[in-house]
Amino acid sequence: NAGVTQTPKFQVLKTGQSMTLQCAQDMNHNSMYWYRQDPGMGLRLIYYSASEGTTDKGEVPNGYNVSRLNKREFSLRLESAAPSQTSVYFCASSRSRGDTYGYTFGSGTRLTVV
Amino acid sequence: TQLLEQSPQFLSIQEGENLTVYCNSSSVFSSLQWYRQEPGEGPVLLVTVVTGGEVKKLKRLTFQFGDARKDSSLHITAAQPGDTGLYLCAGLIQGAQTLVFGQGTRLTINP
- For the stretch A13-59, pLDDT in tens is 999 999 999 999 999 999 999 999 998 788 999 999 999 989 999 99
- CB of B91 less than 8 A from some CB of A: no
Residue among A1, A49, A100 with most chain B CBs within 10 A, to mutate: A100
CA–CA–CA angle A72, A100, B94 (5° rounding) = 110
Among candidate residues A48, A56, A61, A111, the one with its CA nearest the CA of residue A85: A111
Residue A100, CA distances (Å) to A17, A25, A80, B51 in order: 38, 18, 36, 12
Is the model's pLDDT at B100 over the cut of 80?
yes
- CB of B48 less than 8 A from some CB of A: yes
What is the count of residue pairs from A and B with beta carbons less than 8 Å apart?
66
Mean pLDDT of B17-33: 94
CA distance A17 to A97: 32
DSSP at A73: B
Considering chain A, what is the average pLDDT of its residues?
94
CA distance A13 to B35: 30
Is the model's pLDDT at A1 over the cut of 70?
no
Considering chain B, what is the average pLDDT of its residues?
94
- Contact (Cβ atoms closer than 8 angstroms) between residue B65 and residue B72: yes
Buried b (16+ CB within 10 A) or exposed e, B74-97: bbbeebeeebbbbbbbbbbbeeee
pLDDT at residue number B1: 59
B97 vs A44, A98, A103: nearest CB: A98
Which chain B residue's Cα is nearest to A45? B100
Rg (alpha carbons) of chain B, rounded to whole number = 13
CA distance B108 to B55: 24
Contact yes or no for A90 and B101 at CB 8 A: no
Residue among B9, B72, B99 with most chain A CBs within 10 A, to mutate: B99
CA distance A41 to A46: 13
Strands in B71-76's sheet, in edge-to-edge order, are B5-7, B19-24, B71-76, B61-65, B55-58
Contact yes or no for B92 and A33 at CB 8 A: no
> How far apart are the CA of A43 and the nearest CA of chain B, in angstroms?
6
Residue A4, number of CB atoms within 10 A of its CB: 23
- Contact (Cβ atoms closer than 8 angstroms) between residue A105 and residue B55: no
